Amino acid sequence: MTEILPASDTTIAQAAAFLRAGELVAFGTETVYGLGADATNTKAVARVFEAKGRPHFNPLICHYPSAEAAFADVEAPEIARILAQAFWPGPLTLVLPRRITCNVALLAGAGLDTLAVRVPNHPHARALLAAASRPIAAPSANRSGQVSPTTAAHVLADLDGRIAAILDSGPCTVGVESTVLDLSGATPFLLRPGGVTLEAIEARIGPVQRGIPLAAAQASRTLRSPGLLLSHYAPDLPVRLNATSVEPTEALIAFGPPPPGTQTCFQLSATQDLIEAASRLFEALRAFDHTPSITRIAVMPIPTTGLGLAINDRLARAAAPRG
């Protein structure tokens, strides 16, 4: 059962305790309700994708109580600091390179080298983030394909029984999602219009690019829109899917008992648990990048039920021919 917690000091502490224990808690922000999980707990992040029923792993926004906390996890150039100063707390999300010391789960960023960070402008959300004292990954708290929820009742309608609690802080005031701005490339790039207008952003930092054609993106390999490109976020090595045996110079990504003769192996889940497998997938794909004797990654078959759909989507991208 999903508990509804009307926001108060006591329930905020309770919600923070749920998050710290790896449970999912929906909470109100000024834009829409978010489906929160401890971003440093890879299994909790996997459960977010399961609860949403997403057929693929979108990178999630990490929420922080302050710009200082956010910029401890990502590298922030001067324009990021200018925008943070002007619009945080508020409905602006900045995509920036992860710091080496960032301990947000790879799955939260869908395996990317960048991370989307935001400081929401809502007193309960900020109190919750401060009490949780860790980054909270939170997509909008709706089932995949449904519209973003702006009340606790919307969240309950979509996610009842799938999450531990909803921190009810009343209706959201902005009602549309945050503006997502990618500052990881040479020029600022608008990924999603939202609560902070483009005009307001350009008034602070000058021209912002948007809508580069796919061909140009592919040519420059500036993989701006996760999910758009088939071979997006591929590992260094070629990938062979549905492997039931392993060749001598292959490393195996296993799901359950590996075939006889397997030498180099990363186990996604010995018990064939899809949540555990999802939580370890991006580590698995990076695990053999620096093993010179390995020339290819073989991946055992993974069922396409539940989170398996998203896992297989991601693996298909990793195995797609490289452009």
Can you give the binding site for ligand TXA, defined by CB under 6 A?
29, 31-32, 34, 58-61, 91, 93, 95, 109, 112, 114-116, 118, 120, 138-140, 177-178, 180, 182, 191-192, 226
Q: In what order do the strands lie in the sheet with 296-299?
A: 239-240, 296-299, 250-255, 265-269
User: Whose Cβ is closer to ligand TXA: residue 59's or residue 65's?
Assistant: 59
User: Whose Cβ is closer to Mg ion: residue 140's or residue 178's?
Assistant: 140
- Eight-class DSSP state of 24: -
Cβ neighbours of residue 180 closer than 8 Å, sequence gap 6 or more: 61, 93, 95, 116, 190, 191, 192, 194
User: Whose Cβ is closer to ligand TXA: residue 115's or residue 294's?
Assistant: 115
Dihedral of CA 145/151/153/159: which sign? positive
Residue 176: strand, helix, or coil: coil
Q: Report d(CA 79, CA 206) in Å as an integer.
A: 10
CB of 43 to Mg ion, least distance (A): 21
CB of 251 to ligand TXA, least distance (A): 27
Q: Single out the segment in contact with Mg ion by CB under 5 A; choices: 66-74, 82-90, 132-140, 158-166.
A: 132-140
Residue 188 contact partner, candidates ligand TXA, Mg ion, none, CB within 5 to 8 A by sort of partner: none
User: Whose Cβ is closer to ligand TXA: residue 5's or residue 125's?
Assistant: 125
**In the range 136-195, which residues lie near Mg ion by CB under 5 A?**
140
Residue 58 contact partner, candidates ligand TXA, Mg ion, none, CB within 5 to 8 A by sort of partner: ligand TXA
Q: Report d(CA 65, CA 101) in Å as an integer.
A: 19
Q: In what order do the strands lie in the sheet with 92-97?
A: 3-6, 165-168, 25-27, 34-38, 136-137, 61-63, 114-118, 92-97, 179-182, 189-192, 209-210
Q: Is the peptide bond before 89 cis (omega within 30 degrees of 0)?
A: yes
CB of 8 to ligand TXA, least distance (A): 21
User: Whose Cβ is closer to ligand TXA: residue 65's or residue 120's?
Assistant: 120
Q: Report d(CA 203, CA 115) in Å as an integer.
A: 24
CB of 185 to Mg ion, least distance (A): 23
Residue 279 contact partner, candidates ligand TXA, Mg ion, none, CB within 5 to 8 A by sort of partner: none
Residue 46 contact partner, candidates Mg ion, ligand TXA, none, CB within 5 to 8 A by sort of partner: none
User: Whose Cβ is closer to ligand TXA: residue 294's or residue 310's?
Assistant: 310
Alpha-carbon distances of 278 from 149, 308, 309, rounded to whole Å: 26, 8, 10
Judged by the rule CB under 5 A, the positions of this chain that interact with Mg ion are 140
